[in-house]
Amino acid sequence: MSSDMSLEKLVSAVSATCFFHLGQIRCVRQSLDVGSAKTLMQAFVTSRVDYCNAVLAELPRFITDKLQRVMNSAARVVTDTRKYDSGLSRLMHDKLHWLDVTDRVRFKLAVLMYRCLHGTAPPYLMDSFTLTAEVTGRQHLHSATHRKLVVPHYRLNGFVRRRLSVADLSTWNSLPDSLRDPELSLDTFKRQLKTYIFAKY
Q: Taking the domains of the chain in order of start, what are their residue ranges?
A: 8-98, 104-198
Alpha-carbon separation of residue 95 from 73, 74, 76 (angstroms): 15, 13, 11
Q: Three-state DSSP class for 149?
A: strand
For the entire predicted model, the pTM comes to 0.83
- In this prediction, residue 150 carries a pLDDT of 65
Measured in degrees and rounded to the nearest 5, phi and psi for residue 153 equal -70, 145
Yes or no: say if 76 and 83 are a contact pair by the CB < 8 Å rule. yes
d(CA 201, CA 190): 17
- In this prediction, residue 27 carries a pLDDT of 96
d(CA 183, CA 102): 27
- In this prediction, residue 147 carries a pLDDT of 67
d(CA 197, CA 109): 13
Yes or no: say if 138 and 132 are a contact pair by the CB < 8 Å rule. yes
- In this prediction, residue 36 carries a pLDDT of 96
Kindly list the averaged pLDDT for each block of 10 residues, start to end, along the chain of length 201. Answer: 68 97 96 96 97 89 96 96 88 95 95 89 76 54 56 50 65 91 95 96 91
